[in-house]
Amino acid sequence: MPPIRQFYGIFLVAFLSFLSIAAGKASQRPNIIFILADDLGWNDVSLHGSPQIPTPNIDKLSREGITLNNYYTMHLCSPTRGALLTGRHPMQLGLQRFVITETTPFGLGLNETIMPQYLKPLGYSTNIVGKWHQGFFAKELTPLYRGFDTFYGYLTSHESYYDHRCFCWAKTESGKDGYDFRDNLSLDVKDNGTYSTYLYTERAQEIVREHNQSTPLFLYMAHQAVHSGFGSNQPTSVREELEAPQAIIDKFKYINHEGRRRFAAMTYLLDESIGNLTRTLEEEGMLDNSIIIFASDNGGPPAGISYNYASNWPLRGAKASYWQGGVRAPAFIWSRLLKQTGYTFSGLMHVTDWLPTILHAVTGSPPKVANLYGKDMWEALSEGGKSKRDTLIVNWDMNTGAIIRGNYKLVVLGYDEMVLNRSTWYKPEGIDVDTVNFTVKCPARDPTLPPCTNHTSPCLFDLDADPCEYNNIARKQTNLVKVLWAELMEFAGAAQPPRNCPDYKWADPAYHGGAWVPYISLNDTRHDRMC
């Protein structure tokens, strides 16, 4: 018997589905196309002012639709994906600490109802293309067991773009990488050697072309791009990790830094993919009844972090930090079904808001789903109204975290070394930033204010006046610091403990023919380390 929360969610959408299908409305529901980029930084789309990497398709859809100017994600891949799919904060899911690694037997809890499980009873065809990264130690955690009709992509955290092998975070006896590319339940070896962005685009277009339009389509396109490959334990150069066809790399000869040049090629192909998919929707007569959502899963890793050269400039910090550069991400929503378009939405919005927002869009009324952190933003976005959210918990873990209320952000730097080590401002390679008109404007630094370190935290920033988190005004707003601290601690006190587990040796691809595969049966009681 499913857990109460999952049962309630499934019962709700099943009941709504019965009412609307009986009225003959199922085929009129909008198609939902959710495109998630991986590790794309704030300054990696030309929409935000930089001419270094042109992204014409992202820019066009964003400007024609609604540009989300204060959209926040989690700081890392797995927490963001869990939040997106459930509408619940990773602190409610036990996913607040690091990512789901390949050798540790945990994942998004099976007690959670996720987006395709809400949409499938409403008549949707549900499809995922690209990256899963919500756990795979048991087959029950993988996409086809969690509401998706089809899956084409990979289960792990990252892999090489051509040979689809992942060294991942493998703390294994063999120390070897493993193959990870799937077509539904089966390992797909026929596409070994083909660039993954091309593969995902072609499959997404195929799904659209073959879709039975008497039913609505849900396509979750979770791109591998622009994450670095991590195809081996000891990469020798960015050439090995930032992979793209040479003909595309050559388009960016004006970027004199090899890492940034290769990153630009990967981003170019991501943007091209979005344009190709949009044109296919139009060719098939589906675009008028589609909602296209685009976002990055977190800020970019710049300056060689994770072997990558993304850019969040002029925002502070990087992927895996709670600074703006780690959690404020490029995003937009496009649809001809929106009442107002062609504007920038400056209200606060969080990745968890997508689930209730999408449910409202497809059912025509606000959803009544319990225990969500996400807010229903459909009417606010469609009608150009005020955000339903005034506060946002960024995260709290290992005595480190952040909270945003209105234009104020409290940052607490405790003992998380990853956050502490990514607290600076990283200029993009190959460009003179003083000559560029970025959309984010930084104020002057006030030398009389203390820096924000683990010795001075909690720190407070006014994001309206200081989006670059230069000036720590905590000592000027001591009462507000106390209020935000108390709210952050209240939410942290109700958090689920992190689900992270110790490494499990039987995950090693050496035991599974050189591939990453589910390695534990949930029916096997001998395994007591699952969590």
Tell me how far apart the alpha carbons of residues 124 and 214 are, in angstroms, rounded to a whole number: 10
Strands 217-222 and 125-131: parallel
Q: Which helix (H) or strand (E) holds 296?
A: strand 290-296
Residues 427 and 350 placed together within one structural domain of the fold: no
> Is 498 a member of any domain?
no
> Is 512 a member of any domain?
no
The terminus-to-terminus CA distance of the chain in angstroms comes to 19
- Whether residue 226 has a cis bond before it, omega within 30° of 0: yes
> Is 244 a member of any domain?
yes
pLDDT (tens digit per residue) in 321-352: 999 999 999 999 999 999 999 999 999 999 99
pLDDT (tens digit per residue) in 409-428: 999 998 776 777 788 999 99
For residue 54, give the CATH number of its domain: 3.40.720.10
Band of residue 457 on the pLDDT scale cut at 50, 70, 90 = confident
pLDDT (tens digit per residue) in 282-335: 999 999 999 999 999 999 999 999 889 999 999 999 999 999 999 999 999 999
**Residue from 77, 168, 452, 459 carrying the catalytic annotation:** 77
> Is 45 a member of any domain?
yes
Residues 321 and 448 placed together within one structural domain of the fold: no
The pLDDT of 499-504, averaged and rounded, is 89
pLDDT for position 525: 58
Per the DSSP assignment, residues forming a β-bridge with 34 are 220, 293
Per the structure, the complete domain to which residue 469 belongs is given by: 394-493
pLDDT (tens digit per residue) in 373-416: 999 999 999 999 999 999 999 999 999 999 999 999 999 998 77
Tell me how far apart the alpha carbons of residues 402 and 487 are, in angstroms, rounded to a whole number: 11
Span of 58-62, 173-177, 479-483 with lowest mean pLDDT? 173-177
The pLDDT of 117-126, averaged and rounded, is 98
pLDDT (tens digit per residue) in 222-266: 999 999 997 555 556 677 889 999 999 999 999 999 999 999 999
pLDDT at 526 over 60: no
pLDDT at 369 over 80: yes
Catalytic annotation on 77?
A: yes
> Is 230 a member of any domain?
yes
Write the CB contacts of 6 (distance below 8 Å, at least 6 apart in sequence): 110, 111, 112, 113, 117
pLDDT for position 6: 55
Band of residue 21 on the pLDDT scale cut at 50, 70, 90 = very low
Band of residue 363 on the pLDDT scale cut at 50, 70, 90 = very high
Tell me how far apart the alpha carbons of residues 134 and 8 are, in angstroms, rounded to a whole number: 22
Q: Is 496 in contact with 93 (CB distance < 8 Å)?
A: yes
DSSP state of 97: S
> Is 530 a member of any domain?
no
Residues 378 and 419 placed together within one structural domain of the fold: no
Residues 98 and 202 placed together within one structural domain of the fold: yes
pLDDT for position 383: 96
Residues 405 and 453 placed together within one structural domain of the fold: yes
Residues 150 and 208 placed together within one structural domain of the fold: yes
pLDDT (tens digit per residue) in 485-501: 999 999 999 999 999 98
Tell me how far apart the alpha carbons of residues 402 and 409 are, in angstroms, rounded to a whole number: 7
**Residue from 48, 89, 133, 227 carrying the catalytic annotation:** 133
Tell me how far apart the alpha carbons of residues 125 and 404 are, in angstroms, rounded to a whole number: 37
Residues 235 and 359 placed together within one structural domain of the fold: yes
Residues 169 and 205 placed together within one structural domain of the fold: yes
pLDDT for position 26: 57
Residues 300 and 413 placed together within one structural domain of the fold: no
pLDDT for position 328: 98
For residue 474, give the CATH number of its domain: 3.30.1120
Could you tell me which residue, 23 or 428, shows the higher pLDDT?
428
Residues 200 and 349 placed together within one structural domain of the fold: yes
> Is 420 a member of any domain?
yes
Chosen domain end from 389, 405, 437: 389
Chain position carrying tokens 């199922």: 26
Tell me how far apart the alpha carbons of residues 479 and 495 are, in angstroms, rounded to a whole number: 25
Q: Does the global pTM surpass 0.85? A: yes
Give the burial class of 210: count Cβ atoms within 10 A of its Cβ; 0-12 exposed, 13-18 middle, 19 or more buried.
exposed
Number of folded domains that form the chain:
2
Q: What is the mean pLDDT of the chain?
A: 92
Give the 3-state secondary structure of residue 516: coil
Chosen domain end from 366, 389, 412: 389
Catalytic annotation on 501?
A: no
pLDDT for position 337: 97
pLDDT at 22 over 50: no
Residues 242 and 121 placed together within one structural domain of the fold: yes
Tell me how far apart the alpha carbons of residues 174 and 516 are, in angstroms, rounded to a whole number: 13
- For the chain, percent of residues with pLDDT exceeding 90: 82
> Is 518 a member of any domain?
no
Residues 255 and 363 placed together within one structural domain of the fold: yes
